[in-house]
Amino acid sequence: MRTIGLGNALVDVVLRVKDESVLSDIGIAKGAMELIDKDQMIRLRSASTDLSRSVSPGGSVCNTIRAMANLGANVGYIGKIGSDELAQSYESALQQAGVEPNFVKTEGISGSCTVFVTPDGERTMATFLGPAATLNPAELKSEIIRTYDCIYIEGYLIVNEPLFREALSLAKEAGLKVALDLSSFNVVESNLAMLQEVIPAYVDILFCNEQESFSFTGLSPREAASRLAQMVDIAVVTLGKEGALVATGNEVIPIDAVKARAVDTTGAGDHFAAGFLFGLSKSATLDRAARIGALLASHVVEVSGACIPDHQWEQIKLKVAHILN
């Protein structure tokens, strides 16, 4: 199964902060993602009293696609970047991982996400979309999309409604499976009606975490998983340390988390999705695919930022092969 990702191409600047007061100072709810403009981004970064900061390629779907490529999957990515150094390093990080990049390029600085990591490891994000926000439906190339079997889209794109709708209908017309991640509880709350319309109509595989599933259904995780499985073929509700629920038809399969010493939850859901989609691409059962997801999530939460270090992949691949066999 060849999978193409579509998302906001963003460079992450991960700031470890000493307590949650930073979040109330900047007015972002813990665990949420809020959009900010360039001036706000500059102000935030210079005002932040962070304990440490690191820069790495991010963007939710891009994290998933890069991790799938590191496992050896056949994957591509569509996103829009600027003309700065960040854009160059972003593109080469993808190429190095083996992703087929399909970037639309424009003038100016690339989008970036300021990720605040509090001492409990939770991440809260302030995103300057930059060029990513201007990716438009005409820039989606159907001749590229139709060479894939599955498209993976992030819920963050809902704010760009024409693009979001065009991607869904292009993919469906071309016979691709559509996988969607709900991205953030506040994105779900602000776009509930649209999601209620498009999910049953277009989506085959839905990923969300506990908060997002609650914002969408108002139900407990297990009830939500069952409800979502009435709308899509496969619904995955991730539960952090409690593991995940995978639902299909009338069946809900609980999946244990893989124990980890979590320092930063950035990219945990993205890596769960990577492992799960990789498993499906190898015709694994839902249980095994989700166990690969849990494995990848356990690795990424042990590092700062959303990138598992290169040297860990050989060992991860052995563990994945063990799960698949």
Ligand X SMILES: OC[C@H]1O[C@H](O)[C@H](O)[C@@H]1O
Binding stretches for ligand X (CB under 6 A): 8, 10, 12, 58-60, 63, 113, 125, 266-267, 270, 306
**CA within 13 Å, CB half, 182:** 32
Residues with Cβ within 8 Å of residue 205, at least 6 apart in sequence: 177, 178, 179, 180, 232, 233, 234, 235, 236, 277, 280
* C-beta neighbour count of 214 within 10 angstroms: 19
- State which residue, 57 or 221, has the beta carbon closest to ligand X: 57
- State which residue, 111 or 221, has the beta carbon closest to ligand X: 111
Q: Strand 150-154: give its sheet, edge to edge.
A: 100-105, 75-81, 3-6, 150-154, 177-181, 205-209, 234-238, 244-248, 251-255
Query: Least distance (Å) from ligand X to the CB of residue 57?
Result: 8
* C-beta neighbour count of 24 within 10 angstroms: 11
Concatenate the DSSP letters of all residues of 240-276 into one string: GGG-EEEEETTEEEEEPPPP---S--TTHHHHHHHHH
Q: 3-state class of 36 per DSSP? A: coil
How far apart CA 155 and CA 144 sit, in angstroms, is: 21
Query: Least distance (Å) from ligand X to the CB of residue 42?
Result: 18
Task: Using alpha carbons only, give the angle 163, 168, 174 rounded to the nearest 5 degrees.
Answer: 120
Query: Least distance (Å) from ligand X to the CB of residue 143?
Result: 27
- State which residue, 87 or 229, has the beta carbon closest to ligand X: 87
- State which residue, 124 or 217, has the beta carbon closest to ligand X: 124
- State which residue, 123 or 288, has the beta carbon closest to ligand X: 123
Q: Containing H/E element for 151?
A: strand 150-154
- Which residue's CB atom is positioned nearest to ligand X? 58
- State which residue, 274 or 290, has the beta carbon closest to ligand X: 274
Query: Least distance (Å) from ligand X to the CB of residue 244?
Result: 16
- State which residue, 216 or 323, has the beta carbon closest to ligand X: 216
Query: Least distance (Å) from ligand X to the CB of residue 267?
Result: 5
Query: Least distance (Å) from ligand X to the CB of residue 173?
Result: 27
Q: Strand 123-128: give its sheet, edge to edge.
A: 33-35, 123-128, 112-117, 11-17, 50-57
- State which residue, 212 or 270, has the beta carbon closest to ligand X: 270
Query: Least distance (Å) from ligand X to the CB of residue 304?
Result: 12
Query: Least distance (Å) from ligand X to the CB of residue 106?
Result: 19
Q: Which of 213, 222, 226, 151 is nearest to 184 (CA)?
A: 213
